[in-house]
Structure 1
Amino acid sequence: MFRILLILCAIVLILQSLPGCGENSDPAGSGDPATGQLTIYLTDAPAAAFDSVNIIFSEVSAHIDSQWVTVRSDSLLKVNLLDLSNGNTIVFGSAEVPAGKYTQIRIKIADAYVVVDGQS
């Protein structure tokens, strides 16, 4: 009896896991299953010692296999990191990219400066 109960439990667990095993990587059906949407968000921790921490970003790229895929490069993005504390975030970059495992993110900075007591 115990063996039958164990087998039934195993069958139920297997059947419950099957819905997550489909081949459709695009459930909305709106795009190519060989691509996906990569969105990178930017946030920061609070820093009381500064008036502002300004970073001007020029490009964001992600690495897959042996190539870099550009996620953002259309224009410079100036961000005061202090505006991104306490859970505030911005979309740092977003692009449709080839599906796969991304292992690195490269961020190019055009300029950066810090303001402390009104002096940069």
Structure 2
Amino acid sequence: MFFIGVFGINNRSKKIKEVLFKCTGCLNNKGELIEISNVFEIFFIPVFKFNKKYILKCTTCGSMYKLNKESIGKIIETEKVTYEDMEEVIYENRVCECGEKIIDGYEYCPKCGRKL
């Protein structure tokens, strides 16, 4: 948050909707579509948004993916995200089918012994 006197710029995030997506970290099928933007405010009242970014967050493992702005209309309409809609991987958390979080470098789950 950055304020000078009566106006300033603030960061906002807003969950748009839940969508279907096959997470590369845990293979879950659900994700949240989130809009992150900067907001110009006067007396803490939002006037306009700028610098919008769209993020997909896995509901199980918390992996995050940046989405192409051009794909957002299609994603909202169909409620599905494909790998072509992703611009980059922001954060990926690997999780075994048993629910154990996996540290990079492991070939087998340290809890259940399943091959990853």
State the TM-score, normalizing by the size of structure 1: 0.25
Larger relative helix fraction: 1
With a CA cutoff of 8 Å and minimum separation of 6, indicate the structure with the bigger relative contact order: 1
Bigger share in strand: 2
> What TM-score results when the alignment is normalised by the length of structure 2?
0.25
| Bigger CA radius of gyration | 1
